[in-house]
Each structure stands twice: as C-alpha cells, then as structure tokens.
C-alpha cells in the first residue's frame, strides 16, 4: 500500500477582482484555476510555467498565506483551508516558504541572529541555545556571520539565510518560490546542491517553483506544467516525453549550452491571451501549432493516463 500523501490539493481556485472604480467595471481574473495535486512525503514536485501563469499564487494558497476562492488543501489529515487561526498557527510549524528575492525578503534592520530567531518569536517559543549557530551551519554559513546584517551578504549567502530561516522550526514541507531566479548559475548550483542535501538528511518534501524547465527537470521528481492558471500536464519524471504542445514549446525554446546543438526554433506565433479575458476553449489554442476548431470552443480537461495527465485534445 502506498503511504497517504503529505499534501493534497483539491480543485484549488483563486480569482482576483481588480480595476473597479469610477466608471470602471471591475474585472475578474483567474490566477489559479481548478488545480489538484498530491505530494508524497519526501517527494520533490516542480511547478513550471511562464511569468504570470499563477505559480506564486498557487504557492501562497498551498501555505494558506492567501485564501482560496474555492477548493481545499490538506496537510496530512488536517484541512488547512478550514483551520481556525490558532490551529493554523500550529500547523504552520510544519511548513515554510523560501522566497524568490533574497534582497527584499530579509529585513535589512535585523542581524542574521535576529532574522533566524524570528520564527520562534512568531510561534511564541523559546530559542534553544546554540540554535542560530546550528541553523547557519546547516546551510553552510560560518557562525561569525550571526552579527552581520543582510546587506553585508552576497546574494547566494542571503538565499542561504532565507533557507535557514525556513528550516528554523524543523518543517516537513517547504515551498520554494523561484529560490534561485535572482542568482548567478554558479550560485544557483550551490543552492540546489544544498537543497538536495537537506532533503536527504532531513527527509523534507518540496514544492519547487521555477520558470526554468531545465532546472526543474534536473532537480524534481515530478513536474507540473501550468499555463494561464491551469495545469496542462504533469510529467511523471524528468525524462518523460512531453505530451502537451505547450510543454513541447517550452522545451524547444531552451537553447542548449552547446554550439554543436544549435538549431532553428519554430517560434510560437500569436500573443498570450489576457488573463482577464481567457478564450472559451483551450487557453493555448491561439499559439498552438496543433489547434483545431474544437480547441477554440471546448476546454480540454486534465485527464488521460493518471500517471501522466495532460489537458489537450491533440497530445503528442
């Protein structure tokens, strides 16, 4: 029998209303639409997609940093999306988030020791002695940095502090929202190494968000591909052949760091539709080389092979 998943996301949806004002009709946009996903303990699930497709919104919904319009999130047996505030605070110890921008996610006024003690303060717990040194050591930073302030650190060091802070209360589940997007590839590789090592040592479970499919394929066990708020495909492993035309386009758009593999890329034509005015059919139809009339009128549901679902009428 397979163990029950650590995280269950069920039909999660979030709408935003914006632009209401004098003589202006408020507009509604679907940032996350009907997303369902289970994550097993110890698994690394990747989420990829282009800017604005709803990755960060999904991340915030999963940790209930943002309330869903509908749908549920379960952590083990407890329904996060239904917990009252006190119980939610207790549940928060079990999960944490690492943010994209190590420059703005750390308060410049606090020393690293204070930054790392903050999660304990929030949880109204005493800071165990030696905890700060241990947290710094866990992410490969020298103890001598404890009195430094964030502006004195390099981008890679700041992101290590962000990870150390997320690990402070020994969570089981981490959501990593583009943790290396603002870093050089040289530093990105260090951080990915560190995350892999922490997962192995601490048995962590990750939801790893990135717009870099190459990175996600390198690091993740399973890969969720999003387009304009919806999941279009879940790749069961990094080498699985993509079936959705959008996933294909994403893979084909990356240039290999090898001049022997230069090639001409057939560019996608058509513009990305506005999230405020999604077309009635498949959201990708306007840019899809395989689109037919049906794609422009009916919306394909995520389905087919349960291990490798795809939302497309004409998958590869």
Partner 1 sequence: MSALLELSEVSVSIGRAALLERISLRLEPGHILGLVGESGSGKSLTAMAAMGLLPLIGGRVTGGTVRFDGQDIAAMTDGQRRALRGRRIGFVTQNPMTALDPVQRIGAQIDVVSRLHLGLSRQAARARTLDLLTQLRIPEAAAVAEAWPHQLSGGMKQRIVIAMALAGDPDLIVADEPTTALDVTVQAQIIQILGALVRERGLALLLITHDMGVVAQICDRVAVLYAGRLAEENAVDPIFAAPAHPYTRALIGCIPQEGMARGSLHGIPGAVPGALQFPPGCRFHPRCPQASALCRATVPPLTPHGAGIAACHHLSVEAR
* Site residues, Mg ion (CB under 5 A): 55-56
* Binding residues for partner 1 restricted to 198-257, rule: CB under 8 A: 211, 213-215, 217-219, 239, 249-250, 252-257
List the single partner that 84 binds among ligand ATP, partner 1, Mg ion, none, CB under 5 to 8 Å by kind.
Answer: none
Site track for partner 1 across 126-165, x = CB under 8 A: ----------------------------xxxx--------
Q: Which of 243, 234, 248, 244 is nearest to 308 (CA)?
A: 234
Q: Note whether 274 binds ligand ATP by CB under 6 A.
A: no
Token pair, residue 180, equals 């290396």
**Cβ contact 246:284 at 8 Å:** yes
Q: Note whether 184 binds partner 1 by CB under 8 A.
A: yes
Instruction: Give the nearer residue to ligand ATP in terms of CB position, either 172 or 233.
Output: 233
263: Cβ contacts below 8 Å, ≥ 6 apart: none
* Binding residues for ligand ATP restricted to 56-85, rule: CB under 6 A: 56-57
H runs (alpha helix) in 131-177:
131-138, 155-167
Instruction: Give the nearer residue to ligand ATP in terms of CB position, either 16 or 313.
Output: 16
**Nearest distance in Å: CB 2, partner 1:** 22
Say if strands 27-39 and 173-177 run parallel, antiparallel, or are unpaired.
unpaired
In whole angstroms, give the CA distance from residue 183 to residue 116.
21
**Nearest distance in Å: CB 83, partner 1:** 34
Could you tell me the CA-to-CA distances from 11 to 49, 232, 240 in Å, in that order?
19, 14, 25
Part of the chain binding ligand ATP (CB under 6 A), chosen from 55-63, 142-150, 160-168, 260-268: 55-63
List the single partner that 257 binds among Mg ion, partner 1, ligand ATP, none, CB under 5 to 8 Å by kind.
Answer: partner 1
**Nearest distance in Å: CB 29, ligand ATP:** 6
**Cβ contact 66:56 at 8 Å:** no
304: Cβ contacts below 8 Å, ≥ 6 apart: 310, 315
| Element at 153 (helix H, strand E) | none
Write out the residues near partner 1 by the rule CB under 8 A. 50-51, 154-157, 184-193, 196, 211, 213-215, 217-219, 239, 249-250, 252-262, 264-265, 267-268, 271-272
């Amino acid at each position: 029998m397979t163990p029950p998943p650590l995280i269950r996301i069920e039909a999660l949806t979030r709408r935003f209303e914006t632009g209401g004002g004098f003589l202006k009709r408020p507009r509604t946009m679907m940032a996350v639409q009907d997303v369902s996903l289970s994550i097993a303990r110890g698994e690394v699930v990747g989420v990829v997609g282009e800017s604005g497709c709803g990755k960060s919104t999904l991340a915030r919904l999963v940790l209930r940093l943002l309330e869903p319009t509908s749908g549920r999130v379960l952590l083990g047996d407890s329904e996060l999306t239904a917990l009252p505030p006190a119980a939610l605070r207790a549940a928060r110890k079990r999960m944490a988030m690492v943010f994209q921008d190590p420059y703005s996610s750390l308060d410049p006024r606090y020393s690293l020791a204070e930054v790392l003690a903050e999660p304990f303060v929030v949880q109204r717990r005493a800071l165990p002695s030696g905890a700060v040194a241990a947290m710094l050591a866990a992410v490969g930073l020298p103890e001598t940095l404890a009195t430094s302030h964030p502006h004195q650190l390099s981008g890679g060091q700041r992101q290590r502090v962000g990870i150390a802070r997320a690990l402070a209360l020994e969570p089981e589940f981490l959501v990593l929202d583009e943790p290396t997007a603002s870093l050089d590839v040289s530093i990105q590789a260090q951080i990915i190494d560190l995350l892999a090592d922490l997962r192995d040592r601490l048995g962590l479970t990750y939801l790893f968000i990135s717009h870099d499919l190459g990175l996600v394929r390198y690091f993740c066990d399973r890969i969720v591909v999003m387009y304009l708020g919806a999941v279009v495909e879940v790749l069961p492993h990094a080498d699985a052949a993509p079936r959705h035309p959008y996933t294909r386009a994403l893979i084909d758009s990356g240039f290999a760091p090898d001049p022997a593999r230069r090639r001409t890329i057939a560019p996608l034509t058509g513009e990305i539709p506005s999230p405020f005015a999604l077309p009635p059919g498949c959201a990708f139809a306007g840019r899809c080389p395989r689109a037919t009339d049906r794609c422009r009128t009916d919306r394909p549901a995520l389905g087919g092979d349960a291990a490798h679902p795809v939302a497309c009428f004409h998958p590869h």
